Amino acid sequence: MVVVEEVPESIANGSFAVHELLGSGCFGKVHRATDEEGREVAIKFEDMLEGFLIREVEVLRKVQHAGPAQGFARLLYTGVEQGLRCLVMDRLGSSLLQHFKLAEGRFTVTTMVLIAEQVLRCLEHLHSAGFVHRDIKPENFLTGTGDRLHHISLTDFGLAVPYCDGKVHLPRAEASAFCGSFRYASTGTHQLKTQSRRDDLEAVGYMLVYLATGSLPWAKVAGKNWEARNRRVLEMKETISADELTADLPDSFAEYIEAVRELEFTDRPDYAALVQFFQEEKLNLASNGPIEDHGVEWAAGAPFPSGPAPIERRQNIWQPDDSLTARHRSLRRVKEKTKRTLHKLGARCLPHVGSARVAACAGA
């Protein structure tokens, strides 16, 4: 890693004024900045010898090729300034890990099902662009600010890689190195194999359990060296059942983990079905009224001057390996699941399934 020592006072011909350091990592540094109208943004800087921001820009451009995407910071500018590669994006808020610590090391089930839905939609969108993240952890999911305080965005794509060549899924192969976090990595990652969509989704399962319970059985496993520790963590992840891992949580968590563990390397995940596990749990929790998207713990008591910004829910996000037949089949499945969900809500009217937001007229 090449250390970034000094950054310019402004970039893009004065369009963005650079302020204090927000954080640093293997990619370089992140600074707070403001645009010409005084709006806050974030700027990432890295040395030209590094290449993390090259991949990050590539991913953000593909994800946002049709415009801003829910769950991703907008890419505002990228270039080279005073010998440093830089990337300007929306300024986001705190990470899920920061909120988790403020919640005394455990989120409520209500907060968790709301987190799960947004996290899975972020990954569905990323995977539709042909990339896997490979570094799933609470630090890489940032919440919004202001009226978007309850929004969750996936960040840090420096380790993302393509999982397909056009419409053809790449085969499983030996990985050049371990990539991810010991706490959340999939079993395939511990086996030093290349990663696919299922590996991101398995890592999400472990992350959700950790945020809901405050611990994972392998979190404090040690070893005399890296190989020994990796082997012990792998053995624990391979042998523990989904029911054991989620013993103190609602069934939806075990059902999710079982579903993603059953996926083969090249399988196309059914994201709608995975989200449905947590949507059904949300319905079970709604005995005292519907649970709103802004019902997460860190947004409790927030002023929301203009009201909580709605979360966009795209119904059909095609994956690179979807055939036309599969797309039609997926649309039918979405329609059927929407009908079932609305029926559970006691809906009296069924809106058009293709709309960005599903609105139901619920009766007593």
Same domain assignment for residues 234 and 301: yes
Strand partners, 193: 174
Indicate whether 355 pLDDT > 60.
Answer: no
CA distance 177 to 228: 15
Which pLDDT tens digit goes with each residue over 83-110? Answer: 999 999 999 999 999 999 999 999 999 9
71: containing domain:
10-90
> Which one of the listed residues 135, 156, 199, 200 is annotated catalytic?
135
Which pLDDT tens digit goes with each residue over 171-228? Answer: 999 999 999 999 999 999 999 999 999 999 999 999 999 999 999 999 999 999 999 9
Same domain assignment for residues 273 and 163: yes
**Integer CA distances (angstroms), 38 to 18, 32, 148, in order:** 12, 12, 19
Same domain assignment for residues 302 and 174: yes
Q: Is 243 a catalytic residue?
A: no
Same domain assignment for residues 130 and 277: yes
Q: What is the mean pLDDT of residues 45-62?
A: 93
Q: Is 2 among the domain residues?
A: no
Same domain assignment for residues 125 and 86: no
Pairing of strands 28-35, 16-25: antiparallel
Residue 142 makes CB contacts below 8 A (sequence gap 6+) with 73, 92, 93, 94, 95, 96, 152, 153, 155
pTM of the model: 0.88
Q: Is 253 among the domain residues?
A: yes
Indicate whether 159 pLDDT > 90.
Answer: yes
